[in-house]
Amino acid sequence: MPRLCKPSVRVPEYVITMEETLEFAQRVHGGKPQLPLALRLIRNTGVRKRHIVQPIEKTLGHPGFEERNRVYEAESRKRCPEVIEEALANADVAARDIDAIVYVSCTGFLMPSLTAWLINTMGFRSDTRQLPIAQLGCAAGGAAINRAHDFCLAHPGGNVLIVSCELCSLCYQPGDDDIGSLLSDGLFGDAVAAAVVRGDGGTGVDLERNGSYLIPHTEDWISYAVRDTGFHFQLDRRVPGTMEPLAPVLRDFATDHDWDIGKLDFYIIHAGGPRILDDLARFLDVDRGMFRHSWATLTERGNIASAVVLDALRRLIEEETPQADATGVIAGFGPGITAEMALGRWSRDTPDDAD
């Protein structure tokens, strides 16, 4: 059965605290009528600090879309290899053992995808399949796990590398001062994450079932406006309420697998914001503390887009390795409004398996 092994996650060296975020928001957007509400919303996110790839003063400037994309390419090449090497080691596989790479990112654009550069420079085979995913936003972490699961089912014994490179700070637009943009300025952080889904063996989450769901007629609730200055994030005020219609979907998804969504052993949930986590816990009748790994990611790193689910899973494994056969759900949410869901059970190789 395909097994999701322990992720590796890295964040950049530059840190911006909540206090600094509020200060620069007042300095850059002072006098705007939306600012008082935006500051209150930012304070309520619970994000204590975030990591960014450039010093804050450089981040606040806008050198143009071409230069920002150049920085994205340089930083992704600089930061991904170390994370990938650790993810391969966590799964006890080598680069040549990988049959497909799923690369997810919504914060920069490269063609060919970074997968081509990785194959050429890190020892992956030339026949490694490439699957770049760019337009699923925060849901792409869950989608990457699900597409890796699908690949391993179609190619028994195959191994898939997942790479998430989200440099959200490169999308900051100093001229955007609507509530959604100002809130995102205080919520999103940068991170690189990677994990391997093994077709056989290893230690991690056996992926038993995956699914997707799109809430009808919500495709404009989370979106990018692509302009001369790059990607402009657009967030509808209705987005925080989306857990009410998605909770029954998750419940039915688990029920179809003969599991009770409210009685699982672990929950790896996309930390889009505090209301997302609070509402989902309430609608699923799950104790808020069961989402503690997602809360920790949100508090210490902000919303790191598609990397959230990998970071939350890493925290689960490092802080309290699950018991054998512990059951859990992984769920990412993003533009569409799209939910990517997976059910799995904790497992590891035994000496008999190795024989």
Task: Dump pLDDT digits (tens) for 136-153.
Answer: 999 999 999 999 999 999
pLDDT one-digit tens code per residue, 282-320: 999 999 999 999 999 999 999 999 999 999 999 999 988
CB proximity list for 157: less than 8 A, separation 6 or greater: 199, 200
Mean pLDDT over 167-184 rounds to 87
Is residue 138 part of the annotated active site? The answer reads yes
Quick one: pLDDT at residue 352?
A: 47
CB proximity list for 138: less than 8 A, separation 6 or greater: 106, 270, 272, 303, 305, 306, 308, 332, 333, 334, 335
CATH architecture of 204-354: 3-Layer(aba) Sandwich (3.40)
* Single-letter residue type at 240: P
pLDDT one-digit tens code per residue, 79-96: 999 999 999 999 999 999
CB proximity list for 93: less than 8 A, separation 6 or greater: 159, 196, 198, 202
Mean pLDDT over 49-58 rounds to 94
Pair type for strands 338-348 and 327-334: antiparallel
Percentage of the chain beyond pLDDT 90 is: 80
Collapsed DSSP state (helix, strand, coil) of residue 24: helix
Q: Is the pTM of this model over 0.85?
A: yes
Superfamily of domain 3-200: Thiolase/Chalcone synthase (3.40.47.10)
What's the pLDDT band for 41 if we cut at 50, 70, 90? Answer: confident
Quick one: pLDDT at residue 278?
A: 95
Q: How far apart are alpha carbons 306 and 193 in whole angstroms?
A: 9
As a whole number, the mean pLDDT across the chain is 94
CA 275 to chain centre: 17
Residue span(s) of the chain under CATH 3.40.47.10 come to: 3-200, 204-354
* Single-letter residue type at 82: E
End-to-end CA distance of the chain, in Å? 17
Collapsed DSSP state (helix, strand, coil) of residue 7: coil
Q: Please give the DSSP secondary-structure letter assigned to residue 62.
A: -
The HSE-up count of residue 44 (CA atoms within 13 Å, CB side) is 13
CA 263 to chain centre: 24
Tell me whether the omega of the peptide bond preceding residue 112 falls within 30 degrees of 0, making it cis. yes
Nearest CA to 329 among 314, 346, 317? Answer: 346
CB proximity list for 39: less than 8 A, separation 6 or greater: 22, 25, 26
Mean pLDDT over 211-226 rounds to 94
Mean pLDDT over 160-170 rounds to 97
Q: How far apart are alpha carbons 306 and 17 in whole angstroms?
A: 21
190: which 2 tokens? 């940068």
Percent helix, strand and coil across the chain, each to the nearest 5: 45, 25, 30
Q: How far apart are alpha carbons 205 and 319 in whole angstroms?
A: 15
Quick one: pLDDT at residue 12?
A: 97
Nearest CA to 240 among 59, 44, 18, 32? Answer: 44
Highest mean pLDDT among 147-156, 166-175, 224-233: 147-156
pLDDT one-digit tens code per residue, 238-293: 998 999 999 999 999 999 999 999 999 999 999 889 999 999 999 999 999 999 99
Q: Out of 5, 80, 106, 138, which one is annotated catalytic?
A: 138
